[in-house]
Structure 1
Amino acid sequence: MDYQIMLPPSQQTITIRDLLESQWLIPRKVRHFLRTRKHVWVNGQLAMFHQEVQAGDCVTLRLEEDDYSYQPVALGQANRVVVLFEDNHLLIVNKPLGIKTHPNQPNETNTLLNDVQAYLSPTKQRAYVVHRLDKETSGVILFAKNPLVLPILGRLLEQKKIYRIYQAIVEGKLANDCTIRKKIGRDRHDRRKRVIDERQGQLAITHIHIVQVHSRTTNITCQLETGRTHQIRVHLASIGHPIIGDPLYQKKPADRLFLHAYQMHFIHPFTQKEMTITSPDSLW
Structure 2
Amino acid sequence: MDKPIFNIDRHSEGQRLDNFLRKQRKNLTTGQLYKLIRKGQIRINGKRSQPSAKLQNGDLVRVPPFIYFEEPQTQIKLPAKTVDCLMASIIAENQDYLVINKPAGMAVHKGTGHDYGVIEILQHRPAYQHLLLAHRLDVVTSGCLVLAKNRTALLDFQAALKARKVKKTYLALLEGALDNSVLVKQSLAETRINNLKTAVIDDKGKTAVTQFEPQGHRNGISRVLCSPVTGRTHQIRAHAAYLNCPIVGDTQYGAKPRKNLSRAVFLHAEHIVFADYSFQAPVDADFENFWQSL
Q: Same fold (TM over 0.5)?
A: yes
CA distance in 2, matches of 1:220, 1:109: 33
Give the secondary structure class of the aligned counterpart of 2:251.
Answer: coil
Match of 2:121 in 1: 115
Instruction: Work out the number of aligned pairs and report it.
Output: 217
CA distance in 1, matches of 2:146, 2:60: 24
Whether contact under 8 Å (2:14, 2:151) holds in the other structure is: no
- What is the CA distance between 1:108 and its match in structure 2? 5.0
Gaps of 5+ in 1: 4-25, 30-61, 268-273
Match of 1:244 in 2: 248
**CA distance 1:181–1:74, shift in 2 (3 Å):** farther
CA distance in 2, matches of 1:170, 1:227: 20
Aligned residue among 105, 112, 115 for 1:98: 105
Match of 1:279 in 2: 281
Paired amino acid for 1:96: P
TM-score normalised to structure 2 length: 0.66
Whether contact under 8 Å (1:205, 1:224) holds in the other structure is: yes
**CA distance 1:142–1:124, shift in 2 (3 Å):** closer
CA distance in 1, matches of 2:118, 2:278: 22
Match of 2:219 in 1: 215
1:156-195 alignment runs, 5 A limit: 156-187=160-191, 189-192=193-196, 193-195=198-200
Q: Percent identity?
A: 28
Whether contact under 8 Å (1:163, 1:265) holds in the other structure is: yes
Whether contact under 8 Å (2:210, 2:230) holds in the other structure is: yes
Whether contact under 8 Å (2:107, 2:114) holds in the other structure is: no
- What is the CA distance between 1:247 and its match in structure 2? 2.9
Aligned residue among 257, 263, 266 for 2:271: 263
CA distance in 2, matches of 1:281, 1:80: 15
**CA distance 1:160–1:277, shift in 2 (3 Å):** same
Alpha-carbon deviations, 1:126-180, whole Å to 9, x = none? 1211111111111110011122221221111111111111000101111210111
Whether contact under 8 Å (2:186, 2:239) holds in the other structure is: yes
Paired amino acid for 1:113: I
- What is the CA distance between 1:224 and its match in structure 2? 1.3
Paired amino acid for 1:183: S
Whether contact under 8 Å (2:122, 2:129) holds in the other structure is: no
Match of 1:228 in 2: 232
- What is the CA distance between 1:95 and its match in structure 2? 0.4
**CA distance 1:134–1:188, shift in 2 (3 Å):** closer
Give the secondary structure class of the aligned counterpart of 2:252.
Answer: coil
Give the secondary structure class of the aligned counterpart of 2:100.
Answer: strand
**CA distance 1:64–1:248, shift in 2 (3 Å):** farther
CA distance in 2, matches of 1:66, 1:78: 34
**CA distance 1:173–1:27, shift in 2 (3 Å):** farther
CA root-mean-square deviation: 2.8
CA distance in 2, matches of 1:129, 1:190: 28
Paired amino acid for 1:275: Y
**As a proportion of its length, which structure holds more helix?**
2
Whether contact under 8 Å (1:125, 1:146) holds in the other structure is: no
Paired amino acid for 2:282: P
**CA distance 1:66–1:144, shift in 2 (3 Å):** farther
Paired amino acid for 1:266: F
Greater alpha carbon shift after TM alignment, 240-249 vs 76-85: 76-85
CA distance in 2, matches of 1:263, 1:234: 20
